[in-house]
């Protein structure tokens, strides 16, 4: 029996105030260069080193650095908030070739002077010409609206790359961490079974003793356990490998050199850096024919990942299944980051747009250092797209999320023409619908989107009749009927047009803004005229069919195409279909459900214990999100696919309701949709500081919300609206609010710690 609700209120309360208190700073903190934090960290063969950055550049060691490759980097910091409603009013940056200058509050490269501005991110360098391969130091002070002038921040450093690029997205080096087994079990006199607790991409280092130097020790590594041993035939793309060692006499340390897989190290795959060495995903290690006691410190997994601070985020709630789903999803983001690029798991190690948008949103939600890995992947895919029509369109959506979470326009300025092409407007007909089946996919179109192949509509994956799927397992498209005018494809096209209009407006391209806005408005009109079945109140799969699938309804709902009067009928149909989509499709299903205000169904899906659920991945034994709900739905699936980790972003973005209203979290929406949850708390990292949201909920009776808002930002806070007679209090005092559907909204709440109470 699964017990889902437990009394953790005291723990939650302590966590909230401890975390909120830790956020209070007296100086600017979390300094970044080109969106990267801790640019002064030195790595040695992937391990963080204690050697100072300046010293490391002159030593003959295999050091790795976070290189800054542009001559005009941009800077950012979090604004301290010692009082409520703190906003920055001015800043001063000092940048020097030697830190000694900064110790005297002077600078030889750039002294910005006091700049009257509330900007604390994306501040472009305006000093003397930077030199390649050199270490620079900088610090910043700020003034705020409470009359405070801070002292200067701690000094931060960065190293420029050996040669500059006109445009490039910088990233951190891949990091290594040593991990030890959580369990060692002797299965025979000379055999051991060990469990590292979770799967990870890495390789094994092992200390072995031999008396005579003639024994052969066998080592088995794998992701799956069967009958107390490493499963030798796990099936699909789940990993197993056997290695042999003939230990020398005495004690010696051996590194298991992972054999390359021909498929995931091919020409299209992203390769692991040489300083990390080839890795494989494994959780279990079995050692045979070893005639000596084996201790936990004798086995070391050298785990590889993009730098990831575990304390950047957390989530707790009264639903224990939901808590496990969160932990699975959060860890999946870290574990699958081992290449510094979002890939589709271990089978291919190839970036795909479908994986990238889920990875991107999830990485933003759980780590303060996800911005550049997300942007790098996005820009890679612009030049190296994949074959599905919708995924080409998805690049435009990814660009928009990059902007909303960073507030930085550099990427879509650089790739504006590419993004225009990826709206696929060149495939449209007189009604504005696009199709890949009407002879409009010309060589010129393919060249404009950098694709050399055949565009095909995907809807979801896999389709029926491939990958060994039996007839009773009909793929993940809910029986979608493919026609010339595809509802899902055109829902994507509509969203791409609306996003492209926004991008054009931000870049001051007014004529383009008008063009894309008019195209989007017309398409929405035609979409609802030709694809919506008024009698049934649902969308059909395309022009020429009366079949209605989950996908033909959830994508229009998620992308804002459903007219208000039809939302309930579309939702009713969506609820009737359950989770009739893949783990990829679940991102858009839950986005649509929560955006339509159906938090009951949203929570039901997130905390489900059915076969098509995130909990089923845990039940099956995986510690990283799977590529599919179960092996039978995709027989060749792998167990390390972060497109299955959507709850890492759905929980903070939709259930807890934290999203940027204005770019770079200059303004925040906090709109929890708790359904029947008794309580929950989340910590969400942003470039302006941590947002902490906690609620205690008695549905239809009372609701208490505690929020911690970082400095230099404001928030619109949404609370339940029970009735006209309800009381809304802020820190115990009555407050006015506006009405938005089923929500009472308090606008422009400033930084600080606040308690909101609703009493019926």
* Calpha distance 12→696 (Å, rounded): 10
Position 81 pLDDT exceeds 90: no
CATH topology of domain 385-577: Glycosyltransferase (1.50.10)
* pLDDT bucket at 700, cuts 50 / 70 / 90: confident
Q: What is the mean pLDDT of residues 731-749?
A: 95
Position 468 pLDDT exceeds 80: no
* Calpha distance 57→485 (Å, rounded): 58
* Calpha distance 152→105 (Å, rounded): 8
Q: What is the pLDDT of residue 220?
A: 98
Nearest to 9 by CA among 317, 253, 307: 317
Pairing state of beta strands 191-210 and 299-305?
Answer: antiparallel
Structure tokens at 183: 């369990």
Position 574 pLDDT exceeds 70: yes
Answer for the pair 539, 533: CB distance below 8 angstroms, yes or no: yes
Q: What is the pLDDT of residue 26?
A: 87
Q: What is the pLDDT of residues 348-368, one digit of tens each?
A: 999 999 999 999 999 999 999
Q: What is the pLDDT of residues 409-428, one digit of tens each?
A: 999 999 999 999 999 999 99
Beta strands of 627-701 (E only): which ranges? 658-662, 667-670, 679-684, 691-698
Answer for the pair 300, 166: CB distance below 8 angstroms, yes or no: no
Q: What is the pLDDT of residues 634-655, one digit of tens each?
A: 999 999 999 999 999 999 999 9
Answer for the pair 164, 69: CB distance below 8 angstroms, yes or no: yes
* Calpha distance 216→207 (Å, rounded): 14
Pairing state of beta strands 217-222 and 280-288?
Answer: antiparallel
Position 119 pLDDT exceeds 80: yes
Answer for the pair 516, 497: CB distance below 8 angstroms, yes or no: yes
- Rounded to the nearest 5°, which phi and psi values hold at 5? -125, 125
Average pLDDT, the chain: 94
Burial class (CB in 10 A: 0-12, 13-18, 19+), 14: exposed
What's the per-residue H, E or C state across 531-569?
CEECCCCEECCECCCCCCCCHHHHHHHHCCCCCHHHHHH
What is the helix (H) or strand (E) element at residue 20, kind and residue range? helix 9-23
Q: N- to C-terminal Cα distance for the chain?
A: 35
* pLDDT bucket at 470, cuts 50 / 70 / 90: low
Nearest to 647 by CA among 375, 323, 263, 395: 323
Beta strands of 333-377 (E only): which ranges? none
* pLDDT bucket at 13, cuts 50 / 70 / 90: very low
CATH 2.60.120.260 fits 175-305, yes or no: yes
Q: What is the pLDDT of residue 724?
A: 87
N residues, the chain: 760
Pairing state of beta strands 63-64 and 135-144?
Answer: unpaired
DSSP annotation of 112 reads -
What does 483-532 look like in DSSP terms, one character per residue?
-SSBHHHHHHHHHHHHHHHHHHHHTT-HHHHHHHHHHHHHHHHHHHHHSE
Position 8 pLDDT exceeds 80: no
Q: What is the pLDDT of residue 471?
A: 54
Answer for the pair 165, 130: CB distance below 8 angstroms, yes or no: no
Position 10 pLDDT exceeds 60: no
* Calpha distance 288→218 (Å, rounded): 5
Contacts by residues 272-276 (CB-CB < 8 Å, ≥ 24 positions apart):
272/174, 272/304, 272/338, 272/339, 273/46, 273/173, 273/174, 275/45, 275/46, 275/62, 275/64, 275/173, 275/174, 276/45, 276/46, 276/174, 276/176, 276/304, 276/338
Q: What is the pLDDT of residue 467?
A: 61
Position 20 pLDDT exceeds 50: no
Q: Where are the domains of the chain?
A: 9-33+35-160, 175-305, 385-577, 663-759
Answer for the pair 319, 607: CB distance below 8 angstroms, yes or no: yes
Q: What is the pLDDT of residue 473?
A: 62
Answer for the pair 751, 692: CB distance below 8 angstroms, yes or no: no
Match 């896999």 to its residue by tokens. 462
Position 429 pLDDT exceeds 50: yes
Beta strands of 701-742 (E only): which ranges? 702-709, 714-720, 727-730, 733-734, 738-740
Q: What is the pLDDT of residue 681?
A: 98
Helix %, strand %, coil % of the chain (to 5): 30, 25, 45
CATH topology of domain 663-759: Maltose phosphorylase, domain 3 (2.60.420)
CATH topology of domain 9-33+35-160: Immunoglobulin-like (2.60.40)
Q: What is the mean pLDDT of residues 156-168?
A: 96
* Calpha distance 433→389 (Å, rounded): 13
* Calpha distance 618→609 (Å, rounded): 10
Match 């491939």 to its residue by tokens. 466
Nearest to 541 by CA among 470, 612, 602, 457: 457
Q: What is the pLDDT of residue 18?
A: 38
Match 């610090």 to its residue by tokens. 139
List CB contacts of 415: < 8 A, sequence separation 6 or more.
Answer: 379, 382, 399
* pLDDT bucket at 224, cuts 50 / 70 / 90: very high
Position 716 pLDDT exceeds 50: yes
* Calpha distance 523→248 (Å, rounded): 72
Axis crossing angle, helix 371-383 with helix 389-406, rounded to the nearest 10: 150
Answer for the pair 304, 46: CB distance below 8 angstroms, yes or no: yes
Q: What is the mean pLDDT of residues 651-672?
A: 98
Q: 243 in helix, strand or coil?
A: strand
Give all strands of the β-sheet with 679-684 in edge-to-edge order: 314-317, 679-684, 691-698, 702-709, 752-759, 727-730, 733-734
- Rounded to the nearest 5°, which phi and psi values hold at 273? -60, 145
Positive or negative: CA dihedral 416, 421, 426, 431 = negative
């Amino acid at each position: 029996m699964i017990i889902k609700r437990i009394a953790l209120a005291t723990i939650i309360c302590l966590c909230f105030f401890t975390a909120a208190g830790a956020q209070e700073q007296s100086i600017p903190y979390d300094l970044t260069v080109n969106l990267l934090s801790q640019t002064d960290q030195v790595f040695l063969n992937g391990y963080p080193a204690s050697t100072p950055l300046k010293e490391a550049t002159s030593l003959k060691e295999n050091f790795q650095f976070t290189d800054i490759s542009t001559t005009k980097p941009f800077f950012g910091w979090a604004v301290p908030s010692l009082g409520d409603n703190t906003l920055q009013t001015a800043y001063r940056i000092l940048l020097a070739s030697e830190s000694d200058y900064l110790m005297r509050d002077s600078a030889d490269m750039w002294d910005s002077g006091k700049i009257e501005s509330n900007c604390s991110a994306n501040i472009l360098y305006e000093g003397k010409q930077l030199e390649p391969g050199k270490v620079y130091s900088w610090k910043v002070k700020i003034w705020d609206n409470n009359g405070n002038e801070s002292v200067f921040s701690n000094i931060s450093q960065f190293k420029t790359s050996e040669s500059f690029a006109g445009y490039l997205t910088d990233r951190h080096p891949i990091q290594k961490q040593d991990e030890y087994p959580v369990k060692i079990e002797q299965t025979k006199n000379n055999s051991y079974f060990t469990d590292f607790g979770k799967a990870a991409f890495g390789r094994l280092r092992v200390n072995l003793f031999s008396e005579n130097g003639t024994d052969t020790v066998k080592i088995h590594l794998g992701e799956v356990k069967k009958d107390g041993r490493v499963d030798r035939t796990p099936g699909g793309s789940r990993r197993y490998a056997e290695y042999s060692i003939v230990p020398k006499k005495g004690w010696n340390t051996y590194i298991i050199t992972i054999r390359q897989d021909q498929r995931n190290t091919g020409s299209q795959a992203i390769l692991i850096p040489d300083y990390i060495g080839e890795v494989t995903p494994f959780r279990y290690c079995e050692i045979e024919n070893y005639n000596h006691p084996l201790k936990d410190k004798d086995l070391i997994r050298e785990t590889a990942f993009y730098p990831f601070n575990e304390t950047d985020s957390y989530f707790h709630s009264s639903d224990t299944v939901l808590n496990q789903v969160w932990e699975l999803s959060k860890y999946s983001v870290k574990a699958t980051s081992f290449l510094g690029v979002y890939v589709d798991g271990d089978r291919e190690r190839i970036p795909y747009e479908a994986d990238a948008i889920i990875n991107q949103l999830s990485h933003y939600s759980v780590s303060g250092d996800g911005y550049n890995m997300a942007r790098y992947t996005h820009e890679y895919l612009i030049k190296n797209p994949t074959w599905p029509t919708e995924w080409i369109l998805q690049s435009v959506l990814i660009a928009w999320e990059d902007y909303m979470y960073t507030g930085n326009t550099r990427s879509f300025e650089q790739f504006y023409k590419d993004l225009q092409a990826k709206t696929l407007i060149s495939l449209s007909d007189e009604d504005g619908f696009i199709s890949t089946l009407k002879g409009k996919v010309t060589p010129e179109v393919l060249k404009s989107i950098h694709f050399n192949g055949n565009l095909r509509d995907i809807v979801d994956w896999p389709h029926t009749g491939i990958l060994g799927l039996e007839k009773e397992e009909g793929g993940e498209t809910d029986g979608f009927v493919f026609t010339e005018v595809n509802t899902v494809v055109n829902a994507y096209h509509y969203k791409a047009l609306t996003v492209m209009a926004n991008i054009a407006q931000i870049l001051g391209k007014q004529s383009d803004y008008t063009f894309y806005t008019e195209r989007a408005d017309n398409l929405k009109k035609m979409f609802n005229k030709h694809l919506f079945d008024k009698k049934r109140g649902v969308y059909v799969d395309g022009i020429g069919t009366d079949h209605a699938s989950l996908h033909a309804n959830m994508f229009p709902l998620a992308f804002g195409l459903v007219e208000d009067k039809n939302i309930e009928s579309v939702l009713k149909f969506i609820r009737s279909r359950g989770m009739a989509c893949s783990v990829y499709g679940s991102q858009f299903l839950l986005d649509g459900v929560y955006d339509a205000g159906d938090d009951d169904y949203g929570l039901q899906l997130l905390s489900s214990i059915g076969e098509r659920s995130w909990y089923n991945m845990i039940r099956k034994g995986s510690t990283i999100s799977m590529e599919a709900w179960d092996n039978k739905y995709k027989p060749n699936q792998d167990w390390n696919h972060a497109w299955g980790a959507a709850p890492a972003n759905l929980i903070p973005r939709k259930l807890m309701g934290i999203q940027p209203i204005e770019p770079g979290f200059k303004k925040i929406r906090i709109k929890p949709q708790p359904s029947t949850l008794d309580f929950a708390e989340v910590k969400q990292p942003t470039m302006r500081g941590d947002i902490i949201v906690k609620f205690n909920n008695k549905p239809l009776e009372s609701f208490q919300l505690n929020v911690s808002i970082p400095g230099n930002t404001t928030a619109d806070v949404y609370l339940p609206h029970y009735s006209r007679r309800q009381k809304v209090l802020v820190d115990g005092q009555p407050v006015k609010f506006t009405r938005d559907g089923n929500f009472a909204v308090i606008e422009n709440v400033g930084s600080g710690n606040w308690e909101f109470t609703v009493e019926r």
